[in-house]
Amino acid sequence: MSSRRFVSSTMSVLTCLSAIVAVLPLLLILGFLLVKGASAVNLDFFLHLPKPVGEPGGGVANAIVGSLVMIGLAVAVGLPIGISGGVYLADSRDRHLPWAVRFIADVLNGVPSIVVGIFAYTLVVLPMRRFSALAGGLALGFILIPIVLRTTEEMVRLVPNALREAGLGLGIPRWRVTLRIVLPAARAGILTGVMVAVARIAGETAPLLFTALGNRFWHQGLDQPIAALPLQIYAYAIAPYDDWHRQAWAGALVLITLVFLASLAARVATRGRTIAH
Amino acid sequence: MLVASVSQAGTADTPPPARVARRMGIGFGDRLFGLGLTGAAWIVVLLAVALITALGWEAREAIVKFGWRFLFTSSWDPVQGRFGALPFIYGTLVSAFLALAIAVPLSLGAAIFLAELAPGWIRPPIAFLIEMLAAVPSVVYGLWGIFVLVPWLRDWVEPFLASSLGFLPLFQGPPYGIGMLAAGVILAIMVVPYITSVSREVLLAVPGSQREAALGIGATRWETTRIAVLRYGRSGLVGAILLGLGRALGETMAVTMVIGNRPEVALSLFAPGYTMASVIANEFTEATSEIYVSALVEIGLLLLLITIAVNGLARLLVWSVGGPASGGRE
């Protein structure tokens, strides 16, 4: 075997090893979550409020509901802007604005989520003078927009022009062609983007610390502090009680299951469905 | 545009009144619709402007009071009202670059394996696992960090480093487990999937003719990768690494949970530290005085400006290989 071939196969082995080391933490994390979390997950965990320190049992029902409420708010705020903006990016013939929006969206996507939290704090918490579900939902919606925007753009681009031309040729106005022909054709792909974004915001903790704040009770309205699953996990994890640590592992197992389900739904939505060319 | 003008051409010569009305209706609907879409695009621009303005406004008190000294002093004393961000800037930079030092070789190796060298059947499952790794929430990494990684570092890795490399000031002092090293390792685990998937996309965007040319003159697989692929995609790979750096700089929860949260500048990686993101996470709700809140917001503003610069540069580099429509996100 020549030395060049030897180098080549050595590099194959080395890169293969780095791929293995790169995915190893995932297996370790999932393993620990299952081992430490599964024993504390039961029906009570999903149906009950947290118990005070020292009392065993209790659950995170309020936190799950709180997370769902804020994800709903985020989708309500972010989806219309994200999808309309994405359609604009795909269809516009303007020279400068689309480039700028694309660039800004990608940069916003990399802005630390804790900074987004400060933004929502100045926008909602300061004027209202209290922490609220609204502020948390807005922070999450802000994170959702760039993700939905860019996937929608990509998916609308994939819709073949012949479909648009067929609609326009029938005398259908452009806006109806977009709403009734283009968007339905791109629906699966856009849904994927939305699920990816939901998976991302479902696990966000930092932007909720000083917007939603957390709450040990059921939520009492959108203008009140609200619990969230990631916040609850954080509070339990840094507390000095063994029982709370168990709850943290269980909560993390539930959270990661939800996140993976959302990611999986995103994949299934587009499986085998590439838009015809 | 072409199609639109064709459909209008049919109605161009002396149209009956009803047609005219309908055409005006069409125009109105389209104009309104177009206006709505453009409005949504402008909202994204405005959000970015509002983000910077809001943080700048809330930070004005600290900016005026401390000036540039804020960046270079290391006293952090809320009771006395003295604030200097140096320990946090130091902690953010050291933990992020430590993370890159670990993550870059691994990620590039994994990306090259996935895009160039691996047999076809093994690529999808590994790419899938790496995607899953990117989807794990930060707080879950933090939980795992506290209860698994930190004890492992404390009992095995840090004693080993101290005994083998202890002559370096980096590896001196008592092994707490919690500290800069733990933050660097957890950050490395978190940015590996980002760097890997963006680099992989960059490598896949390299035209096949590059590889064929190299293979055609008798290069081995690795030589082809090195000469034809890596060199061609170099700027995109730098962009991928910068994207990872942006993530590492702004990552909050996992770091806050393992770094020890002590505002000191210490040379040893075993010592506890503090980052810009974690001080905001820990102290924002406890900040009582206005100047305290303002100082924390100024740290947030700094973090924002740094990540905008890093990410902006990264996007331009990644786009330079694949174009704006392809790759570079997530």
Do residues B93 and B10 share a domain? no
Do residues B133 and B221 share a domain? yes
* Chain A partners within 8 Å of B225 (Cβ): 11
Do residues B45 and B150 share a domain? no
Instruction: Compute the nearest-CA separation of B182 from chain A (Å).
Output: 14
Those of residues 41-70 in A touching chain B at CB distance below 8 A are none
Query: Has residue B316 been placed in a domain?
Result: yes
Contact: A25, B133; criterion CB under 8 Å: yes
Of the pLDDT bands very low, low, confident and very high (cuts 50, 70, 90), residue B36 is very high
Those of residues 102-141 in B touching chain A at CB distance below 8 A are 105-110, 112-114, 117-118, 126, 129-133, 135-141
Q: Give the pairing type, strands B82-83 and B76-77.
A: antiparallel
Q: How many CB atoms lie within 10 A of CB B244?
A: 29
pTM as predicted? 0.91
For residues A234 and A133, give the distance between their C-alpha atoms in angstroms, rounded to a whole number.
18
Of the pLDDT bands very low, low, confident and very high (cuts 50, 70, 90), residue B18 is low
Structure tokens at A244: 């709370």
Residue B200 has pLDDT above 80, yes or no: yes
Instruction: Compute the nearest-CA separation of B308 from chain A (Å).
Output: 6
Query: Has residue B242 been placed in a domain?
Result: yes
What is the arithmetic mean of pLDDT over A190-200? 92
Residue A206 has pLDDT above 50, yes or no: yes
Q: Domain end: B10, B27, B58, which one? A: B58
Number of domains chain B is built from: 2
DSSP string computed for B32-90: HHHHHHHHHHHHHHHHHHHHHHHHHHHTHHHHHHHTTHHHH---EETTTTEE--HHHHH
Q: Domain end: B37, B58, B79, which one? A: B58
pLDDT digits (tens, 9 = 90+) for A64-121: 999 999 999 999 999 999 999 999 999 888 889 999 999 999 999 999 999 999 999 9
Write down the mean pLDDT value for chain B.
89
Question: Residue A226's beta-bridge partner residues?
Answer: A213
* Chain A partners within 8 Å of B227 (Cβ): none
Note the helical H segments in A159-228.
161-169, 174-177, 183-185, 187-202
- CA-nearest residue to B1 within chain A is A93
Do residues B50 and B169 share a domain? no
Look up the domain containing B48 and give its range: 2-58
Do residues B258 and B282 share a domain? yes
Of the pLDDT bands very low, low, confident and very high (cuts 50, 70, 90), residue B270 is very high
Query: Has residue B210 been placed in a domain?
Result: yes
Do residues B47 and B121 share a domain? no
Query: Has residue B156 been placed in a domain?
Result: yes
* ipTM value greater than 0.85: yes
Instruction: Compute the nearest-CA separation of A183 from chain B (Å).
Output: 13
Q: How many CB atoms lie within 10 A of CB B286?
A: 10
Q: Domain end: B33, B58, B83, which one? A: B58
Identity of the amino acid at B173:
G
The angle at the Cα of A271, spanning A107 to B321, to the nearest 5 degrees, equals: 35
Contact: A7, B324; criterion CB under 8 Å: no
Which of B50, B220, B310 is the closest to A4 by Cβ?
Answer: B220
Do residues B50 and B130 share a domain? no
Kindly provide the b/e burial profile for residues B144-154, where b requires at least 16 CB atoms within 10 angstroms of the residue's own CB: bbbbbbbeebb
For residues A202 and B216, give the distance between their C-alpha atoms in angstroms, rounded to a whole number.
49
The number of C-beta contacts closer than 8 angstroms across A and B is: 292
Q: A61-91 and A187-202 are packed helices; what angle lies between their axes, rounded to 10 degrees?
A: 140
Those of residues 110-169 in A touching chain B at CB distance below 8 A are 110-116, 118-119, 121-123, 142, 145-147, 149-150, 153-154, 157, 164-165, 168-169
* Chain B partners within 8 Å of A176 (Cβ): 29
* Chain A partners within 8 Å of B189 (Cβ): 25
Check which CATH number belongs to the domain holding B135 and give it: 1.10.3720.10
